[in-house]
């Protein structure tokens, strides 16, 4: 267990939301960046300058002559079978113990034809909670495998590794996440092309490589990802799980490749972060843990629809239709208008906190007798974490309400110092975010096949995984066992 003192100077919200906010730092690693703050809102998409070919063969990258991100036509769903980069895949056992009965997994399996649906295909991995700041997943990259841990981030769409530790928010934490050395892998290939992303505080830059990658019981050949050569503030790399090819990037992401390799049936993954400091967090690719919720999963459509979003920046927006609280021993109270309230919010595992309209934050803060510090942060008494109340978020006009326990909603930065789980979005911004202080209260299924987020209240009453994605919308037929 990492000491809380390590996090005392950190409020990391490694997030990739939307472009357009001013950067507080330009370029990666150009001096130390240890000032406590929020890593929020990337402000510049990187440019794709790769040639698409190295001396050792063809890779997923920009075509020759590309000098920037190619503006795609209005995207259409291309068959996942178009991703056929090469060798058949294997599925080694992952670290930890997956829930429920293990699927029958051959050690070597040829890629199946696109018309043949995968059955009983899912990959499970535990996640490590870093003091409520963020959640990491273990990757094994290369031949022989090199272990690194990266943040899972539903607010971005690419994988990168190797932050620069001497300019990170915590060199100790950074070094504990591991380092990947391409020259120590016999299967690594240099792709080329610059990777350059700036955040509200901090940035990263590097180049693209390709290598074999093991994740969540799966081994995937020829995965393209960025290897940083300079960065600041970030103390771990990032696994982006948002919409990728053919929208935001012009090569298949890790999630895309799981589908094209026949490892899962569709680009779907489920997430149960569990309660704060409960030491149980998991992600399942291609499956749903039916023992983490009760009753059916409720579909919440991505809103605005992807057809109305920037085709180069498709994200998991959902429409929140009510916000309220249930104080201990009292009836629920809703603080938003009872009719026609809409607030699109981004579901982002990479954000420690959630961000709302300031008027709503003020109302919620009053219920906790919050104070506001010089930086505008709402602070609350940590004793509220021990009370049996909830902060409530409604979707689909109240058809689904997620009740987040105080313990999971109030973020304890260090003992005796707690922040309200929702903070004001930047002035003039409508980039509202449902971060980990919300997600801990919900069981979520991110379904790119149906452009839907399936959700229900999170419980933990056992383990048992059901495959999803065999047909469009089949997640709706899953019933929780709790």
- CA separation for the pair 427, 424 (Å, rounded): 8
- CA separation for the pair 247, 224 (Å, rounded): 16
**Residue burial 387-407, b: 16+ Cβ < 10 Å; e: rest:** eebbbbbbbbeeebbbbbbbb
First to last CA, the chain: 29
Q: Give the number of C-alpha atoms closer than 13 A to the C-alpha of residue 285, restricted to the C-beta side.
A: 24
Closest CA to 194 of 160, 222, 149, 170: 160
- CA separation for the pair 306, 247 (Å, rounded): 10
| Residues 193/51, Cβ–Cβ less than 8 Å | yes
- CA separation for the pair 191, 210 (Å, rounded): 7
3-state secondary structure of 438: helix
| Residues 328/387, Cβ–Cβ less than 8 Å | yes
| Cβ-based neighbours of 336, under 8 Å, separated by 6 or more | 321, 322, 323, 324, 343, 360
Alpha helices (H) along 269-416: 358-367, 406-409
Q: Which of 140, 276, 348, 447 is catalytic?
A: 348
**Other CB atoms within 10 Å distance of the CB of residue 258:** 30
Closest CA to 417 of 138, 68, 186, 132: 132
Residue 104 burial (10 A CB sphere; 0-12, 13-18, 19+): exposed
Residue 220 burial (10 A CB sphere; 0-12, 13-18, 19+): buried
Closest CA to 461 of 480, 475, 445: 480
- CA separation for the pair 351, 133 (Å, rounded): 8
H/E element, 147: strand 146-153
Q: How many helices (H) and strands (E) does the chain have?
A: 6, 32
Closest CA to 169 of 122, 133, 138: 133
Catalytic, 339? Answer: no
Q: Which of 140, 153, 196, 408 is catalytic?
A: 153
Catalytic, 153? Answer: yes
Question: Residues with catalytic annotation?
Answer: 153, 348
């Amino acid at each position: 267990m990492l000491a809380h003192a390590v996090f005392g100077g950190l409020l990391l919200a490694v997030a990739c939301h939307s472009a357009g906010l001013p950067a507080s730092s330009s370029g990666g690693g150009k001096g130390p960046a240890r000032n406590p703050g929020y890593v929020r809102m990337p402000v510049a998409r990187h440019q794709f300058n790769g040639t698409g070919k190295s001396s050792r063969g063809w890779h997923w990258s920009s075509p020759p002559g590309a000098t920037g991100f190619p503006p795609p036509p209005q995207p259409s769903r291309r068959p996942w079978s178009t991703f056929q980069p090469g060798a058949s895949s294997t599925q080694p056992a992952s670290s930890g113990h997956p829930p429920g009965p293990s699927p029958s997994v051959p050690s070597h399996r040829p890629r199946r034809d696109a018309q043949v649906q995968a059955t009983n295909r899912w990959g499970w991995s535990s996640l490590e909670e870093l003091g409520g700041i963020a959640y990491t997943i273990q990757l094994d990259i290369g031949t022989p495998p090199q272990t690194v841990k990266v943040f899972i981030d539903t607010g971005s769409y690419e994988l990168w590794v190797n932050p620069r530790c001497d300019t990170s928010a915590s060199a100790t934490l950074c070094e504990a996440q591991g380092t990947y050395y391409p020259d120590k892998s016999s299967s690594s290939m240099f792709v080329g092309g610059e990777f350059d992303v700036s955040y509200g505080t901090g940035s990263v830059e590097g180049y693209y490589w390709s290598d074999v990658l093991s994740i969540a019981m799966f081994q995937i050949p020829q995965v393209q990802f960025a290897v940083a050569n300079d960065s600041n503030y970030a103390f771990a790399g990032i696994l982006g799980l948002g919409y990728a090819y053919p929208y935001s990037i012009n090569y298949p992401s890790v999630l895309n490749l799981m589908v094209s390799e026949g490892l899962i049936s569709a680009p779907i993954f489920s997430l149960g972060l569990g309660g704060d400091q409960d030491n149980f967090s998991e992600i399942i690719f291609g499956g749903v843990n039916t023992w983490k919720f009760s009753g059916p999963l409720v579909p919440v459509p991505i809103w605005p629809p992807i057809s109305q979003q920037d085709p180069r920046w498709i994200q998991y927006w959902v429409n929140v239709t009510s916000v309220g609280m249930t104080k201990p021993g009292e009836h629920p109270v809703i603080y938003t208008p009872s009719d026609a309230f809409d607030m699109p919010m981004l579901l982002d595992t990479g954000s420690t906190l959630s961000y709302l309209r300031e008027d709503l934050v003020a109302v919620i803060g009053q219920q906790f007798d919050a104070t506001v510090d010089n930086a505008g942060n709402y602070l609350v008494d940590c004793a509220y974490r021990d009370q049996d109340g909830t902060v409530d978020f409604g979707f689909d006009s109240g058809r689904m309400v997620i009740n987040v326990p105080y313990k999971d909603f109030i973020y304890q930065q260090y003992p005796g110092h707690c922040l309200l789980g929702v903070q004001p979005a930047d002035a003039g911004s409508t980039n509202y975010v449902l971060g980990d202080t919300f997600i801990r209260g919900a069981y979520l299924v991110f379904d790119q096949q149906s452009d839907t987020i399936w959700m229900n209240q999170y419980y933990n009453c056992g383990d048992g995984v059901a495959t999803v994605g065999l047909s469009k919308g089949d997640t709706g037929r899953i019933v929780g066992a709790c």
